[in-house]
């Protein structure tokens, strides 16, 4: 047998193809007894390889042939013939040629390597080496003959097709995929059609099998998208490849993976968007490429792994334009419904439903913008989809998440409208009703019955389902109002049965009822109705809730509040939605120039809309008539807003009338004017059953008053005047409508209290122990200062003061709070024009008399302590209203000065009085900005200058003039500090920052003297403010502050509920809650210290603090323990 050398020589010298020599060589290798044969075989071409002389073409040709001999031999070798190490050596050899022999070695090397990669002994890790070698060709790659390049492409393709090699490449390169960027660099300018087919195939494989980083993705995307749209030049040597083959290959790249969708879709749409610059052929190409991008995706849907991503891409394509939607829908919808039937897991089902739901939403959005000639495939989104898709899932007993998606989708389906002219609902009425009936169960009806849609569902799951149903209904209702009417009707019908359930107590039932009613409000008021009047659903809802309230009047007031809160919520939400329509932004109160304030709507909506309920007259209304009338109303944003304002006023008025009544004054204390023989009292709906029930009733009255405030404050000044709301505070809308038969009372009040054109006197009826006072406050609180110009402040305030200063008091509890608030409002909103300096002085004198009773101390005729405190609080409320819009003259402020000077030093109840000083500045609803209170920007600084700053000296006991008076000095100083911190806790840091050093000194003393009480929390609040803003001020006092704070903690820890710390009579007992708050604030401060100071300031205290904190880790309150643990960590990290 010839040696390898001979065979090689023979092959190199042969002119044509010598098939024999390689074959013989292969056989010799296979039959060889030892490994030497392979070495001899490779060495056989040595004579051509050594000292290659590139200049001689002959050498080149013979070297190429010699290498070809090796490659051809390998082609003939059996796959198992080479050992792994031999393969490795050979790969190394051929790889080296890519660097060293660009002219002769490439083609044969590529062929040889291709063979080697298919050998059994080939290790996947070598793949990476081969690709790296190939990329070393650099610019010489394009100088290779097309056929050689084809060999290389084949080689790379073979490697990428080998899953083991691909896996190894992915592992070695990670997301950077550097081998690919190098390849893209080398192969950039390929022009040969046949090579391009291979190159595109490589790119496609890469995109499908690797997870490259974004930059790599962009690079690869560029590598094929640069060719788009691809054409083919006529060639003298036809390759047999058509332009369609090339187009198909490029499309395959575009459609290869969802990852490039975000690049591909904008790119293609952008190309499409170039107008006439794009020829029809190209456009077709683009569209077909787009189609290819999603055709494969449709198939991906059935694969659970890709559903979500494929779905996202499909949706984004569909959303591009009506045309793309209809293309996508046609291809995807059959896939979706089929897949939905055969889903493999719950998450797959959820993904498919999510896709379907998004398509429905996209369709809804497109219906709004599509032209009349656009086709949005109405046929695919009707009853059939409901039956095939959602109904099937609904019945399948699916889990909460699938159900949530199903409900979401059903609601979207029910609101689908046809494309083209005269849009109408696609689904039949029967299907829509079914959907609403189904959704009503988990959102409204089942929760009332304490049931869940899914048996044995956890509380969380039930809540998920309930919320999903509510949100879904909220979306469908604007487009299908009849469904909402049915829902309200179902809710009302379920109430009687719900009340019969005797297992639950009334508070729990009221909570359930309230939650269901609030959900109903959320559903009905999510948006304006799209069909018919914008107010349609709002009116249906509130009318329904009024009916519900009416049906509950025989029950406890706790149910009234449950429904009333929902009415209030409905009013707020509806106003909000309408305000957004009008102004484009969310605001409950519209500037006067934007709201049209069309008085005809606001003052007399009932004249335009007939059939509204009047529950004060036990009339439940005629909904059909109302809906018919609503249809005829103007529908522009401004009119709708005003119409709804009118409707809200109408609702509040009838509620006020329903729950109050006019009765003879004989049994009640007379009003200030004896000429009126009637008073406003509570209606007969209020039954005095038990203390609890009375509390619930009072609560209801407060909530009604708050609703009135919400409605009234949104009205313009002119409207408030036009409606004469000032009078309504006294007559509660009685007699406004002749039908109620109380017109005479109204005119009587109106005349009697209109003081000779000096304005109205607002009166609060003493009937039922002033229980209607909150209702009066409800209206008064919402009035703008301008609307109060018709009030006579003096004659309103004086009688009010008289009531409040009376001892023993006739008016206590919540009613007194309402009257106090009224006093604050009047002192805040009354303008100087309405009340002269003398009159103001008279008012202050009246209050000073009241204060005199308080400060009369232990004198025998002084009232009891609770009354004294109540009177003092009323005085402070008046001052609080005034302080908010302070006037700097002495004539206005002498009472404030007297009180600040003397109250804390009062002998017996000085401390309690001092605690009340917070009232001057504490946040109050009656003095809130939305309620049109007059608030001057520097009020905080002003009160600080008046009531705090002058008194710092008095916070320390003065040297005792005599041995027997020292104790009093101490107590006065403490009381003074209490008063100061009661104010400071409500001020901003900037208001008092100038005296920080002074305050720190008072803080240190107060920590040691206040004992465990809420007063200490005020101190800690101020201390934490100091620490947050300017810790520098605390630096010098750290030892005292730390020791005192830890002592406060310790003291509060030792407080047991049985231990009452009391500094006198009244409300000074310390509860467990107060003690808990003390400990909480003490540890909050301690925990913040390490973050605010350099360790050197704190290290001296570290050991003792850590000791205290470790004990605090056993605090009985969990929240306090957590603070102790984090504080301990911060302190132990100090070094």
Partner 1 sequence: MDNKDNANPTILTASELPTRQIKKKTPASADDAKFADAVSRRPLFLSDPFCDVSWSDGTESEDDFVEEPIDEQEIYDLISNITDPEHPISLGQLAVVNLPDVEITPPPSTPCDPNALRRVLVKVTPTITHCSLATVLGLGVRVRLEQALPPNYRVDVVIKEGSHSQDDQVNKQLADKERVAAALENDTLKGVLDKMLESCV
Cβ of residue 866: shortest distance to partner 1, in angstroms?
Answer: 8
Helices (H), ranges, 584-722: 599-603, 605-608, 623-632, 637-659, 691-713, 717-722
Contact between 821 and partner 1 by CB under 8 A: the answer reads yes
Which of 190, 820 has the CB closer to partner 1? 820
Q: Which of 572, 579, 830, 1098 binds partner 1 (CB under 8 A)?
A: 572
Q: Which of 332, 569, 637, 791 binds partner 1 (CB under 8 A)?
A: 569
Nearest to residue 226, comparing CAs of 267, 265, 198?
267
Q: Which of 623, 1112, 1123, 1130 binds partner 1 (CB under 8 A)?
A: 1112
DSSP secondary structure, 802-864, as one string: HHHH-SS-S--HHHHHHHHHHHHHHHHH--TTTS-HHHHHHHHHHHHHHHHHHHTTT-TTSPP
Nearest to residue 796, comparing CAs of 756, 860, 829, 753?
753
Which of 24, 574 has the CB closer to partner 1? 574
- The H or E element containing residue 160 is helix 146-161
Question: What is the size of the binding site for partner 1 (CB under 8 A)?
Answer: 58
Contact 641, 582 (CB under 8 A): yes
Q: Which of 352, 926, 1004, 1023 binds partner 1 (CB under 8 A)?
A: 926
| Tokens (6 digits) for 945 | 């200058």
| Stretch 1003-1042: interaction string toward partner 1, x if CB under 8 A | -----------x----------------------------
Which of 149, 1077 has the CB closer to partner 1? 1077
Cβ of residue 1021: shortest distance to partner 1, in angstroms?
Answer: 12
Q: What is the b/e burial string over 149-173, where b = at least 16 CB atoms within 10 angstroms of the residue's CB?
A: bbbbbbbbbbbbebeebbebbeeeb
Nearest to residue 169, comparing CAs of 818, 276, 24, 178?
178
Using CB under 8 A, which of the segments 59-67, 422-430, 998-1006, 1115-1123 binds partner 1? Answer: 1115-1123
Nearest to residue 528, comparing CAs of 384, 639, 406?
639
Which residues does 727 contact at the CB level (< 8 Å), separation at least 6? 746, 749, 750, 760
Contact 1052, 1080 (CB under 8 A): no
| Stretch 848-887: interaction string toward partner 1, x if CB under 8 A | -------------------------x--------------
Cβ of residue 1107: shortest distance to partner 1, in angstroms?
Answer: 9
Q: Which of 136, 142, 699, 1050 binds partner 1 (CB under 8 A)?
A: 699
3-class SS at 834?
coil
* Residue 408 to residue 385: CA distance in whole angstroms: 14
Q: Strand 678-682 to strand 660-664: parallel, antiparallel, or no bridges (unpaired)?
A: antiparallel
Using CB under 8 A, which of the segments 127-135, 381-389, 679-687, 701-709 binds partner 1? Answer: 701-709
Which of 105, 1127 has the CB closer to partner 1? 1127
- The H or E element containing residue 1122 is helix 1118-1132
Which of 573, 746 has the CB closer to partner 1? 573
Q: What is the DSSP letter of 456?
A: T
Which of 323, 1126 has the CB closer to partner 1? 1126
Cβ of residue 1077: shortest distance to partner 1, in angstroms?
Answer: 6
Which of 561, 765 has the CB closer to partner 1? 561
Cβ of residue 515: shortest distance to partner 1, in angstroms?
Answer: 8
If 0-12 CB within 10 Å is exposed, 13-18 middle and 19+ buried, where does residue 751 land?
exposed
Contact between 1128 and partner 1 by CB under 8 A: the answer reads yes
How far, CA to CA in Å, does 809 sit from each of 340, 545, 1038, 1067, 1133?
73, 39, 48, 18, 58
Cβ of residue 714: shortest distance to partner 1, in angstroms?
Answer: 12
Using CB under 8 A, which of the segments 24-32, 78-86, 408-416, 1105-1113 binds partner 1? Answer: 1105-1113
Contact between 573 and partner 1 by CB under 8 A: the answer reads yes
Cβ of residue 932: shortest distance to partner 1, in angstroms?
Answer: 16
Q: Which of 16, 591, 962, 1114 binds partner 1 (CB under 8 A)?
A: 1114
Helices (H), ranges, 441-556: 446-449, 459-476, 481-500, 506-524, 536-551
| Stretch 511-540: interaction string toward partner 1, x if CB under 8 A | -------x---x------------------
Which of 201, 1115 has the CB closer to partner 1? 1115
Which of 723, 1109 has the CB closer to partner 1? 1109
3-class SS at 144?
coil
Which of 135, 915 has the CB closer to partner 1? 915
- Binding positions for partner 1, 409-468, rule CB under 8 A: 463, 467
| Stretch 1058-1097: interaction string toward partner 1, x if CB under 8 A | ---------x---xxx--xx--x-----------------
Nearest to residue 542, comparing CAs of 613, 598, 637, 486?
613
Contact between 813 and partner 1 by CB under 8 A: the answer reads yes
Q: Name the maximum alpha-carbon separation found in the chain.
A: 143
* Residue 805 to residue 875: CA distance in whole angstroms: 9
Per residue, the 3-state secondary structure of 970-1037, as one string, reads: HHHHHHHHHHHHHHHCCCCHHHHHHHHHHHHHHHHHHHHHCCCCHHHHHHHHHHHHHHHHCHHHHHHH
Cα torsion 347, 349, 350, 356 to 10°: value is: 150
Cβ of residue 1050: shortest distance to partner 1, in angstroms?
Answer: 13
Q: What is the DSSP letter of 235?
A: -
Contact between 789 and partner 1 by CB under 8 A: the answer reads no
Which of 272, 817 has the CB closer to partner 1? 817
Q: Which of 918, 940, 957, 1087 binds partner 1 (CB under 8 A)?
A: 918
Which of 197, 1086 has the CB closer to partner 1? 1086
Using CB under 8 A, which of the segments 58-66, 273-281, 491-499, 919-927 binds partner 1? Answer: 919-927
Q: Is the peptide bond before 258 cis (omega within 30 degrees of 0)?
A: no
* Residue 960 to residue 420: CA distance in whole angstroms: 95
Using CB under 8 A, which of the segments 176-184, 647-655, 787-795, 917-925 binds partner 1? Answer: 917-925
Contact between 347 and partner 1 by CB under 8 A: the answer reads no
Q: Which of 397, 496, 960, 1119 binds partner 1 (CB under 8 A)?
A: 1119
Which residues does 901 contact at the CB level (< 8 Å), separation at least 6? none
Cβ of residue 435: shortest distance to partner 1, in angstroms?
Answer: 20
Contact between 695 and partner 1 by CB under 8 A: the answer reads yes
Contact between 1111 and partner 1 by CB under 8 A: the answer reads yes
Question: Looking at the chain, how many residues does it have?
Answer: 1135
Contact between 471 and partner 1 by CB under 8 A: the answer reads yes
Cβ of residue 587: shortest distance to partner 1, in angstroms?
Answer: 12
Q: What is the DSSP letter of 188?
A: T
Using CB under 8 A, which of the segments 116-124, 303-311, 330-338, 814-822 binds partner 1? Answer: 814-822
Contact 475, 415 (CB under 8 A): yes
Q: Which of 208, 239, 922, 968 binds partner 1 (CB under 8 A)?
A: 922
| Tokens (6 digits) for 551 | 């049906």
Q: What is the b/e burial string over 517-531, where b = at least 16 CB atoms within 10 angstroms of the residue's CB?
A: bbbbbbbbbbbbbbe
Residues that bind partner 1 (CB under 8 A): 463, 467, 470-471, 518, 522, 565, 568-569, 572-573, 576, 695, 699, 702-703, 706, 710, 813-814, 817, 820-821, 873, 915-916, 918-919, 922-926, 928, 1014, 1067, 1071-1073, 1076-1077, 1080, 1110-1114, 1116-1121, 1125-1126, 1128-1129, 1132
């Amino acid at each position: 047998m010839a040696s390898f050398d001979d065979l090689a020589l023979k092959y190199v010298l042969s002119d044509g193809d010598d098939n024999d020599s390689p074959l013989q060589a292969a056989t010799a290798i296979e039959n060889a007894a030892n490994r030497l044969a392979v070495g001899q075989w490779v060495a056989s071409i040595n004579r051509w390889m050594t000292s290659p002389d590139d200049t001689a073409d002959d050498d080149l040709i013979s070297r190429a042939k010699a290498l070809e001999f090796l490659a051809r031999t390998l082609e003939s070798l059996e796959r198992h013939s080479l050992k792994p190490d031999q393969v490795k050596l050979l790969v190394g050899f051929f790889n080296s040629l890519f660097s060293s022999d660009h002219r002769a070695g490439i083609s044969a090397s590529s062929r040889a390597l291709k063979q080697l990669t298919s050998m059994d002994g080939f290790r996947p890790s070598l793949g990476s080496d081969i690709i790296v070698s190939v990329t070393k060709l650099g610019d010489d790659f394009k100088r290779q003959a097309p056929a050689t390049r084809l060999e290389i492409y084949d080689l790379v393709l073979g490697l990428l097709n080998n899953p083991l090699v691909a896996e190894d490449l992915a592992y070695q390169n990670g997301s950077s995929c550097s081998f690919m960027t190098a390849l893209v660099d080398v192969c950039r300018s390929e022009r040969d059609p046949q090579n391009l087919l291979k190159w595109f195939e490589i790119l496609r494989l890469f995109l499908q099998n690797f997870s490259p980083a974004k930059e790599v993705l962009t690079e690869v995307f560029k590598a094929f998208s640069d060719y788009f749209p691809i054409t083919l030049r006529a060639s003298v040597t036809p390759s047999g490849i058509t332009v369609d083959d090339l187009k198909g290959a490029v499309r395959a790249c575009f459609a290869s993976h969802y990852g490039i969708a975000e690049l591909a879709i904008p790119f293609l749409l952008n190309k499409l968007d170039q107008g006439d610059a794009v020829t029809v052929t190209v456009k077709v190409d683009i569209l077909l490429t787009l189609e290819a991008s999603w055709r494969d995706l449709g198939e991906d849907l059935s694969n659970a792994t890709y559903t979500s991503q494929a779905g996202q891409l499909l949706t984004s394509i569909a959303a591009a334009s009506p045309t793309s939607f209809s293309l996508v829908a046609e291809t995807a919808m059959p896939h979706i419904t089929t897949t939905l039937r055969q889903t493999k897991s719950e998450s797959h089902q959820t993904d498919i439903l999510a896709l379907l739901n998004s398509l429905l939403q996209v369709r809804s959005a497109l219906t709004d913008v599509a032209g009349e000639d656009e086709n949005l495939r109405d046929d695919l989104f009707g009853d059939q989809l409901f039956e095939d898709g959602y109904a099937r899932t609904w019945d399948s007993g699916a889990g909460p998440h699938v159900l949530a998606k199903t409900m979401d989708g059903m609601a979207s389906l029910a609101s689908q409208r046809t494309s083209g002219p005269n849009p109408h609902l696609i689904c039949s009425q029967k299907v829509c009703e079914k959907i609403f009936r189904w959704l009503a169960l988990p959102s409204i009806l089942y929760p009332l019955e304490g049931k869940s849609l899914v048996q044995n569902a956890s509380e969380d799951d039930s809540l998920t389902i309930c919320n999903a149903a509510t949100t879904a209904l909220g979306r469908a209702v604007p487009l299908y109002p009849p469904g909402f009417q049915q829902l309200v009707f179902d809710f009302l019908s379920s109430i009687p049965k719900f009340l019969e359930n005797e297992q639950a107590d009334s508070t729990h039932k009221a909570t359930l009822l309230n939650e269901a009613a609030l959900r109903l409000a959320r559903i009905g008021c999510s948006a304006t109705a799209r069909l018919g009047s914008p107010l349609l659903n709002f009116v249906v809802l509130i009318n329904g809730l009024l009916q519900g309230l009416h049906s509950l009047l025989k029950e406890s007031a706790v149910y009234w509040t449950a429904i009333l809160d929902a009415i209030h919520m409905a009013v707020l939400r509806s106003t909000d939605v309408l305000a957004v329509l009008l102004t484009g932004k969310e605001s409950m109160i519209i500037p006067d120039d934007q709201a049209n304030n069309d008085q005809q709507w606001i003052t007399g909506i009932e004249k335009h809309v007939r059939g509204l309920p009047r529950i004060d007259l036990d009339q439940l209304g005629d909904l059909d008539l109302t809906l018919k009338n609503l249809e005829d109303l103007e529908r522009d944003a401004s009119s709708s807003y005003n119409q709804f304002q009118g409707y809200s006023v109408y609702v509040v008025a009838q509620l006020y009338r329903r729950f109050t009544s006019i009765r003879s004054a004989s049994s009640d204390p007379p009003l200030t004017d004896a000429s009126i023989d009637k008073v406003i009292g509570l209606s007969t709906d209020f039954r005095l059953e038990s203390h609890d029930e009375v509390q619930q009733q009072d609560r209801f009255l407060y909530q009604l008053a708050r609703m009135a405030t919400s409605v009234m404050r949104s009205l313009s000044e002119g409207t408030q005047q036009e409606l004469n709301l000032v009078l309504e505070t006294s007559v509660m809308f009685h007699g406004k409508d002749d039908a109620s038969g109380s017109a005479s009372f109204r005119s009587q009040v109106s005349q009697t209290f209109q003081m000779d054109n000096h304005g109205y006197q607002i009166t609060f009826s003493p009937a039922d122990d002033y229980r209607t006072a909150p209702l009066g406050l409800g209206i008064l609180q919402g009035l703008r200062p301008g609307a109060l110009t018709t009030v006579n402040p003096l004659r309103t305030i004086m009688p009010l003061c008289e009531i409040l200063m009376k001892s023993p008091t006739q008016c206590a509890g919540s009613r007194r709070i309402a009257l106090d608030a009224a006093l604050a409002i009047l002192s805040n909103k009354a303008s100087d024009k309405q009340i002269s300096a003398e009159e103001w002085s008279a008012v202050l004198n009246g209050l000073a008399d009241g204060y005199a009773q308080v400060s009369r101390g232990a004198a025998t005729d002084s009232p009891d302590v609770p009354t004294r405190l109540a009177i003092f609080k009323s005085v402070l409320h008046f001052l609080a209203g005034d302080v908010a819009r302070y006037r700097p003259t002495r004539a206005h402020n002498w009472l404030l000065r007297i009180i600040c000077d003397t109250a804390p030093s009062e002998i017996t109840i000085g401390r309690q009085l001092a605690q009340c000083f917070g009232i001057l500045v504490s946040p109050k609803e009656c003095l809130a900005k939305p309620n049109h209170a007059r608030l001057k920007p520097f009020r905080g600084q002003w009160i600080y200058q008046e009531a705090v700053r002058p008194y710092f000296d008095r916070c320390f006991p003065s040297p005792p003039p005599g041995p027997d008076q020292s104790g009093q000095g101490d107590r006065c100083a403490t009381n003074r500090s209490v008063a100061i911190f009661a104010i400071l806790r409500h001020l901003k840091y900037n208001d008092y920052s100038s005296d920080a050093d002074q305050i720190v000194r008072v803080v240190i003393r107060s920590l040691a003297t206040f004992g465990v009480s809420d007063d200490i929390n005020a101190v800690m609040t101020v201390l934490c403010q100091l620490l947050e803003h300017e810790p520098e001020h605390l630096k010098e006092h750290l030892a005292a502050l730390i020791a005192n704070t830890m002592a406060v903690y310790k003291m509060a820890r030792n407080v047991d509920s049985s231990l009452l710390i009391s500094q006198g009579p009244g409300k000074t007992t310390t509860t467990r809650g107060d003690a808990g708050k003390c400990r909480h604030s003490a540890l909050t401060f301690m925990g913040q210290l390490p973050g605010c100071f350099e360790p050197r300031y704190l290290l001296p205290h570290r050991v003792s603090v850590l000791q205290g904190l470790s004990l605090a880790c056993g605090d009985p309150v969990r929240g306090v323990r957590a603070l102790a643990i984090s504080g301990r960590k911060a302190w132990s990290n100090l070094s």
